[in-house]
Amino acid sequence: MPRFHYRALQPSGAEIAGELIADSEHDVAARLQAVGNYPIEIGAAARPGLAARWRLPSGSNRLSARDLELFTRQLATLASAGVALDRGLGLIAAGRGRRGPARLGRDLLAAVNRGDSLSRACREQPGLPPHYAMMIAAGEARGDLGGALDRLAEVLEKGRAASRALIGALLYPASVLVVACLSVSFLLVFVVPRFEGLLTSFQHEPPWTMRLLLGASALFQQIALPGLLILLVLGGLVVVRWRDPGFRTACDRRLLALPGLGGLIGKAEAERLTFLLGNLIGAGVPVPDAAAAAGAAMTRQSFRDGLAAAQQRIERGDSVAATLGESGLLPDIAGELVRAGEETGDLAPMLLKASDILRREVESSSTELIGLVTPVAIVLLGLLVGLFAVAMLGTVMEVYDIGN
């Protein structure tokens, strides 16, 4: 079937352009007029050349989580205000702010003008997660697209908030560790060796603290380059092996088994799971499909594998609470709430309640972790810097006394 390129005017007066697969130009005009657009130019679309066919997708075309959240909130606001879908997408596409939402608005507008539903257009967008189209399809089926977009925007906003909270809890200790390593490396490589030449010229035995630093400096200079090469090789092996889901699952299980940090990461992922699953089920998505979409949205491979197995058991008729509880994806209190919701027929509200409880626990654990790590990191960094200062100043004072 041939492909036609068109230009048309919307009822608002805005000009749109796109491509349609149709039998003839008359068919294209009829389809455009059916959705209220006035065609002004229709012609055969040019075939893509060899270079265009083999062109790789550019990384700059990816839609970031922030852009997707902004686009969804804008469209939800317009839809709730009664603005027509094509008009709302046209307003977003014509925006002069961030380019990501405008680009997505243009792509979806072209698909809607071809006669596709918004959910189908979202399903064909490679950068959108599976649950995005599912929740919109559920809203279209119930005739409440604005409500579905509002719920979807809330899912995206809370997902980003949970990620920011976890990153915030880990950012300070990680930055302190990096600064400490760089500072120690600089002192051992460039500063401490100068004292060895100074002491040799004075033919003086250095104090024990300086002897300790001189030994550490010599050892560090010997192993620094081989150790860096080993780390680079190990990093390359991890990158290659990371494509294997089994390897990612094993890494996730070791990470989640770490004391303190592992529990925090596990609770954050469980909070994301219960919140997304509750919203999908509450929107009318069947439970097996909701489990599959939630699994695709998880960041940890172990949770993805667990939800894939849970989906198969749910399709066989097993209960959601038993399936999620036995897979170890949810803490005990969340599992009990899910079980109570399933027994009373309020599964979606109980999933959201469990998500709220887990979110509070994550925030509390993050605050406790930061409160514990911050003073410990400051004290350790201070002791490290103090050791270098005492050793170097003590050596300088002894050399000064000898000179006098």
Give yes or no: residues 263 and 323 share one domain.
yes
Give yes or no: residues 216 and 92 share one domain.
no
How many independent structural domains does the chain possess? 3
Whole-number Å distance between alpha carbons of 317 and 308: 15
Q: Which of 395, 404, 392 is nearest to 205 (CA)?
A: 395
Question: Do the domain assignments include residue 399?
Answer: yes
The domain boundary, picked from 128, 161, 181, lies at: 128
Give yes or no: residues 74 and 163 share one domain.
no
Give yes or no: residues 79 and 195 share one domain.
no
| Segment (H or E) for 345 | none
Q: Is 110 helix (H, G, I), strand (E, B) or coil?
A: helix
Whole-number Å distance between alpha carbons of 239 and 234: 9
Find out whether 399 and 202 touch, Cβ atoms under 8 Å: yes
Dihedral angle sign, alpha carbons of residues 364, 367, 371, 376? positive
Give yes or no: residues 312 and 225 share one domain.
yes
Beta bridge partners, 7, equal: 17, 41
Give yes or no: residues 90 and 214 share one domain.
no
Length of the chain in terms of residues written: 404
Token output for 233:
């090789």
Query: For each of the chain's 404 residues, which pLDDT tens digit applies?
Result: 566 777 776 665 556 666 666 677 777 777 777 766 777 778 776 554 433 333 333 344 467 878 888 888 898 888 888 888 888 888 888 877 678 888 888 888 888 888 888 888 888 887 788 788 888 888 887 788 888 888 888 888 877 776 776 677 677 777 877 887 888 888 888 877 877 766 666 666 767 777 787 888 888 888 888 888 998 999 898 888 888 877 888 888 888 888 777 888 888 888 888 888 888 888 788 888 888 888 877 878 888 888 888 888 888 888 887 888 777 788 888 888 888 888 888 888 898 898 888 888 887 877 777 777 778 877 887 887 787 777 777 777 766 665 55
Question: Do the domain assignments include residue 140?
Answer: no
Give yes or no: residues 123 and 153 share one domain.
no
Question: Do the domain assignments include residue 52?
Answer: no
Give yes or no: residues 121 and 153 share one domain.
no
φ/ψ of 209, rounded to 5, equals -65, -40
Question: Do the domain assignments include residue 58?
Answer: no
Give yes or no: residues 268 and 301 share one domain.
yes
| Domain, as residue range, for 22 | 3-47
Got the DSSP string for 193-246? Answer: HHHHHHHHHHT-PPPHHHHHHHHHHHHHHHHHHHHHHHHHHHHHHHHHHTTSHH
Confidence (pLDDT) at 48 = 44
CATH number of the CATH domain containing 193:
1.20.81.30
Give yes or no: residues 347 and 396 share one domain.
yes
Give yes or no: residues 223 and 344 share one domain.
yes
| Segment (H or E) for 49 | none
Give yes or no: residues 247 and 355 share one domain.
yes
